[in-house]
Amino acid sequence: MALTDHCDVFASFHEDGFNRIVEHIMQQRPSLFNYATPDLVQSPDRLCERIVVHPAVSQAENPLIKQIDYLPIIGYDGPFGFSFGLQLTDLKIDFHPGNIINLPPQLNPPLSEQTLALTARACAGLSCPDPEFIERLIRLLPDPDDEKDKRDDSPKPPLNPMPYERLTCFCLEVFAVVKAVRQNGYLSLRLQGMEIKDILPAGLEDSIECYISTMLKLVVFPKVRIALEDLTFEITDYLSVEPTPISADVPFNPDVSKDQIAIFANLI
């Protein structure tokens, strides 16, 4: 059977190749996968995981890390906050049928048709401040009686990190089941389910899963969508094509099966 029996242009990427693409994206767009407070942006070597980047990132003075605010100390109104970093590493994809990633039982393995499994390590690090510094800070706290007449009660974002020796790090293994969809000329990912291994209690696990899944949906997936025409190696510079409509012959477009993702297009 020919690859173009039911279309004019066919492009497919095997999961091994797609994982190479993911590696290149992580190395050339590190700020999509690394988030940290300003002090860690200045000293990325203090983060939990070393960031491997393509030399062009530094040459172009692209950020390695997306800067986030210092983590506030709830109820404390002073200028200090926690340093914090969150990193996604070791991102891997496994197209149906699953044979690279062992999905946890909560995601109902085996991988269902037309889906792909995704795994990554989510590593977070929090600065635990030097106790002496906390003691000094306590001495500088305003007298609660002086606070009575304070009019402005709105919280202010902390502006400075508390001194610390090193981040306290932990890494979680994240698993997800994702659907590849075609949307407005782009290949995008839609999260179907997510699971983080070995966290108790369940409420903590659910909360972290909720946070990371929201981050994937709102931040990472929208920014790594790939234009369908870019999957066809610029053949569309030469030919006018449109996606092949769904039919009995082409039931899925894109088609995630046989360890690859494939797209079909017809001449206009």
Partner 1 sequence: MSHVNLAVSEAAFGKLVDKLTENISFSKTDGGDFGPFTASYSAGVRFEGGDIDLKDSPDEVVINELDVIYDPLSLTVGIDIPEICVGGFCIIPNPFGGCILRAPRICLFEGDPDASFTLDLGGLIESEISGGFNVVARYFNNPDHAGLTDHQAHEQDKANEWQFFLDPRWLDLDIIDISDTVGNILDGIIDAIVDDLLGGLPGWAKDAIRFVLGGLADLIRGILDIGDDIDEWLSDLLGVSLGLFDFILTFIADKLANENPVFSFEDPYPMLPTSGNLIPVLLPIRNVNPDITNVEFVMTADVG
Number of residues located near partner 1, criterion CB under 8 A: 41
The SS3 of residue 106 is helix
Q: Does 228 bind partner 1 (CB under 8 A)?
A: no
> Which C-beta is closer to partner 1: that of 62 or that of 89?
62
Select the residue interacting with partner 1 from 184, 234, 247, 251 (CB under 8 A).
Answer: 234
> What is the distance of C-alpha 215 from the center of its chain?
7
Q: How far is the CB of 15 from partner 1 (least distance, A)?
A: 9
> Which C-beta is closer to partner 1: that of 27 or that of 106?
27
Q: Does 257 bind partner 1 (CB under 8 A)?
A: no
In angstroms, the CA 129 to CA 83 distance is 9
Nearest to 101 by CA among 187, 198, 173: 173
Select the residue interacting with partner 1 from 60, 140, 202, 248 (CB under 8 A).
Answer: 60
Q: Does 96 bind partner 1 (CB under 8 A)?
A: no
Stretch that binds partner 1, among 1-9, 103-111, 144-152, 243-251 (CB under 8 A): 1-9
Q: Does 17 bind partner 1 (CB under 8 A)?
A: yes
Q: Does 59 bind partner 1 (CB under 8 A)?
A: yes
The alpha carbons of the chain give a radius of gyration, in whole angstroms, of 23
Cβ burial of 139 (10 Å; 0-12, 13-18, 19+) is exposed
**Binding mask 185-224 vs partner 1 (x if CB under 8 A, - otherwise)?**
--------------------------------------xx
> Which C-beta is closer to partner 1: that of 238 or that of 248?
238
Q: Does 9 bind partner 1 (CB under 8 A)?
A: yes
Say what the alpha-carbon torsion angle 28, 33, 36, 42 is, to the nearest 10 degrees.
Answer: -10
Nearest to 252 by CA among 131, 117, 25, 96: 96
Cβ burial of 246 (10 Å; 0-12, 13-18, 19+) is exposed
Say what the alpha-carbon torsion angle 15, 226, 117, 64 is, to the nearest 10 degrees.
Answer: 100
CA 49, 55, 60, 61 dihedral sign is: positive
Q: What residue has token string 């012959």? A: 249
Stretch that binds partner 1, among 81-89, 120-128, 140-148, 230-238 (CB under 8 A): 230-238
Q: Does 3 bind partner 1 (CB under 8 A)?
A: yes
Q: Does 97 bind partner 1 (CB under 8 A)?
A: no
**Under rule CB under 8 A, which residues in 30-49 are in contact with partner 1?**
31
What stretch of H or E contains 125?
strand 115-129
Binding site for partner 1 (CB under 8 A): 2-5, 7-14, 16-18, 20-21, 24-25, 28-29, 31, 55-57, 59-60, 62, 223-224, 226-227, 230, 232-235, 238-239, 241, 267
